[in-house]
Structure 1
Amino acid sequence: MLDETIIDCPYCGEAQTLLVDSSAGDARYTEDCQICCQPMRVSVSLFHPDEPSVVEVEREDD
């Protein structure tokens, strides 16, 4: 199941929508910002199957 999550890019600060696969459980991956094309490190945490995923983004160079 894909969930839409709105995040702010850690580089340019622009809001954008990420599609997160909540059925995959916890995940870490790199995705480019849709606005400035900088690489963001995305962390997805699923604490309980009935609750929404927690999505955090940070700069790749941190």
Structure 2
Amino acid sequence: MERDGLVTRTCHPEVPPRVEYEISDLGRSLAPLFAALADWAGANMGRVEEARAGYDADGRPRA
């Protein structure tokens, strides 16, 4: 994620070594997408659990 510019990494020359990570501005720009995903999960978790139960019962997904 550091290579992609989503987080910054700061190494401190200490013993023991210490590293800090921070979300970058580019990473923060993903916040609305994560919020939408969380909203979707909250609205659909019951259906996901039903699908899991159906799959676990007979090995086939439920629509």
Q: TM-score, normalised by structure 1?
A: 0.28
More strand, by proportion: 1
More helix, by proportion: 2
Computing the radius of gyration over CA atoms, which structure comes out larger, 1 or 2? 2
